[in-house]
Amino acid sequence: MAELTKVALFTNEYPPNVYGGAGVHVEYLSKALAKLMHVEVRCFGSQHADGERIMVRGYPLWDEVKRNTDSRFSGALDAFSRSLLMAKDTLDAQIVHCHTWYTDMGGLLAGKLWGVPYVLTIHSLEPLRPWKVEQLGNGYILSSWMERTAMEQADAIIAVSKETREDVLRLFKVDPAKVHVIYNGIDLAEYRKTEATDALTRYGVDPSQPYVLFVGRITRQKGIIHLVNAIAQIDPALQVVLCAGAPDTPEIAREMQEGVAAVSKDRPGVIWIHEMLARPDVIQLYSHAAVFCCPSVYEPFGIINLEAMACETAVVASAVGGIKEVVVPEETGVLVNLAFNEGGFDLADPAAFEADLAAAINRVALDPELRARFGAAGRRRVEDHFSWDAIAQRTAELYRSLIAG
């Protein structure tokens, strides 16, 4: 195969600006790829670094995209403008690899301008996130168009799960031979069980009492409102720790505030940590949780489940998307079924899902032997299947096949 010396990664999120799974993915993939080739990262922000193996260039917000327009459009317009800037800058990489719709158009344009193949990793799909209309208005139409236009002309597409691959083939006009499944990964040295508890004490969690943990953004996709609604049915012996920030909209922020206030009136031990925590603090929370809960209604992969499993924590999660390829039912955790109304992501019976979620949490968290067995099996599973080095090797093989072609 052709010699591969450099890749350019286009991304919205990159440290220190990481708020979701896609950002975590790019952070760790770039480090693992840097063992195999030179890496240039072009990202949203003001970052700048000239490392020996990784070079980082940030692209700040262009204020003009917010001027004299509907505020809901600024996100999509900002993504389009920064994608253009990323694409026009001189490129000496042999491959462009984009992450999320924010930079997909950058890959399409760079591929045409510099005559190199471009790859897209699918972390989520706009057609499967219709609730974003609440956040973006008609900007959602623009973001969906950018995603579709770039994807249907890509040289290769990486889906983070088998179910995401099926979604791509169902929703877009792409050659199945171009769509490859390469999972997310986990840093096994960093994410491991710790005995430290100072972060728990700092945030008001009693280390001597079992707790159920949620970690994620306040968004419809993550299903956190369903978990909040389930709290009334969760055994009061369990603390409920919600490590949840960055609400998508004022509406869901208000819904979250009202929901937590309502359940906290009659039940102690509901702890809401509003800010996004430093990684060592989150690892402490994972390590000491009786159970980690991922109630997502849409989840192409769900890297947070890997993080919990790596810390030897049992998982209760909704049976959707890539979660079903990560969490093994009755081996590393429990999957809770949910049904949707036809043609959307509105639950057909939210109360039933919330009751089943609470029942699964109670069953696992209140059985020390079961949760210990699930936790140990979860650690073994991530060690066997989800190391970043193995994922970088597979990604590099795909790059080589494209430049050889």
Instruction: Report the distance separating Cα 357 and Cα 35, nearest Å.
Output: 42
pLDDT for res 356: 98
The least confident of 169-183, 288-302, 306-320, 343-357 is 343-357
Q: Does pTM surpass 0.85?
A: no
pLDDT for res 246: 86
**Percentage of the chain surpassing pLDDT 90?**
86
Tokens for 35, please give them. 């063992």
Instruction: Report the distance separating Cα 200 and Cα 264, nearest Å.
Output: 19
Angle between helix 388-404 and helix 21-33 axes, rounded to 10 deg:
70
Per-residue pLDDT tens over the stretch 363-381: 999 999 999 999 999 999 9
Between 157 and 246, where is the model more confident?
157
With tokens 């936790």, the residue in question is 375
**Percentage of the chain surpassing pLDDT 70?**
99
Q: Residue 166 above 60 pLDDT?
A: yes
Q: Residue 334 above 80 pLDDT?
A: yes
Q: How sure is the predictor about 249, in pLDDT bands with cuts at 50, 70 and 90? A: confident
Residue 16: asked if its preceding bond is cis (omega within 30°), the reply is yes
Q: How many CB atoms lie within 10 A of CB 231?
A: 25
Supply the CATH classification number for the domain 6-185+387-404.
3.40.50.2000
Domain ranges of the chain: 6-185+387-404, 198-385
pLDDT for res 405: 78
Per-residue pLDDT tens over the stretch 336-352: 999 998 766 789 999 99
Q: Which amino acid is at 184?
A: N
Are domains 6-185+387-404 and 198-385 of this chain identical in fold?
yes
CA distances from 198 to 99, 206, 250, 283 (A): 35, 10, 32, 12
Can you tell me whether residue 6 is helix, strand or coil?
strand
Angle between helix 279-288 and helix 303-310 axes, rounded to 10 deg:
70
Q: Residue 311 above 70 pLDDT?
A: yes
Q: Residue 391 above 70 pLDDT?
A: yes
Per-residue pLDDT tens over the stretch 17-59: 998 889 999 999 999 999 999 999 999 999 999 999 999 999 9
Are 387 and 185 in contact by the 8 Å Cβ rule? The answer is: yes
pLDDT for res 133: 81
CATH architecture for residues 198-385: 3-Layer(aba) Sandwich (3.40)
Q: Residue 1 above 80 pLDDT?
A: no
Average pLDDT, the chain: 94
Q: What are phi and psi of 341, to 5 degrees?
A: -65, 150
